[in-house]
């Protein structure tokens, strides 16, 4: 098995550092991707025949791909928010908020889709499915907290 911890080391160290990114939006996107990946694994192990979960798997993969690009993009935009002034700051903040709201929308869609497929998940893999669904829910909560924090930080109405 591949050892993954070294692939995550820089991200985790950067996350712990006193710098603006990566931060909450990036973590929300990463958490979403981790959760959806576990749900996808549970679906693949539960498929009675090859085609039984094809459509949900395609949908989860699309959602995961959408959020995956936000892991880095959120931090890039937030760094621009912190450096910019006036109209440019407002523009970057709006783009940053759009990423977080899109991640939240992906979470909503993934939670609804997971609810529909849950009855077909095999008992031997149900814990991975539940962990995945909880990670997606955690990501949604992280998106809400991120938007609230940015609104407070930049004195916008919530």
Q: Where are the domains of the chain?
A: 23-153
Residues 77/46, Cβ–Cβ less than 8 Å: no
- Is the model more confident about 109 or about 151? 109
- Is the model more confident about 107 or about 84? 107
May I ask the CATH class of domain 23-153? Answer: mainly alpha
Tens of pLDDT, residues 51-93: 779 999 999 999 999 999 999 999 899 888 888 888 998 898 8
pLDDT band at 119 (very low <50, low <70, confident <90, very high): very high
Tens of pLDDT, residues 33-54: 999 999 999 999 998 876 779 9
**What distance in Å separates the CA atoms of residue 78 and residue 147, rounded to the nearest whole number?**
12
Residues 6 or more apart in contact with residue 44 via CB below 8 angstroms = 53, 57
**HSE of 8, CA atoms in CB hemisphere, 13 A:** 9
Residue 158 pLDDT = 37
CA 19 to chain centre: 21
Average pLDDT, rounded, for the chain: 91
Residue 73 pLDDT = 94
Q: Residue 156: pLDDT above 70?
A: no
**70-83 and 24-46 helices, crossing angle to 10°:** 170
Residues 82/100, Cβ–Cβ less than 8 Å: no
Residues 125/4, Cβ–Cβ less than 8 Å: no
Q: Residue 120: pLDDT above 60?
A: yes
Query: For the chain, what is the radius of gyration of the CA atoms?
Result: 17
Residue 50 pLDDT = 67
| Mean pLDDT in residue range 124-143 | 98
Residue 48 pLDDT = 80
Residues 6 or more apart in contact with residue 154 via CB below 8 angstroms = 89, 93
């Amino acid at each position: 098995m591949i050892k993954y911890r070294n692939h995550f080391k820089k991200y985790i160290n950067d996350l712990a550092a006193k710098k603006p990114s990566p931060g909450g939006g990036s973590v929300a996107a990463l958490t979403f991707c981790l959760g959806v990946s576990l749900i996808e694994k549970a679906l693949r192990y539960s498929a009675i025949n090859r085609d039984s979960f094809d459509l949900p798997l395609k949908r989860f993969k699309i959602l995961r791909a959408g959020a995956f690009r936000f892991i880095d993009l959120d931090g890039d935009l937030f760094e621009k928010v912190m450096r910019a002034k006036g109209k440019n700051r407002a523009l970057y903040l709006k783009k940053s908020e759009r990423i977080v709201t899109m991640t939240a929308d992906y979470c909503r869609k993934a939670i609804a889709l997971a609810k529909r497929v849950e009855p077909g998940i095999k008992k031997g893999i149900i814990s991975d499915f539940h962990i995945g669904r909880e990670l997606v829910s955690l990501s949604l909560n992280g998106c809400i907290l991120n938007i609230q924090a940015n609104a407070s930080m930049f004195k916008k109405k919530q």
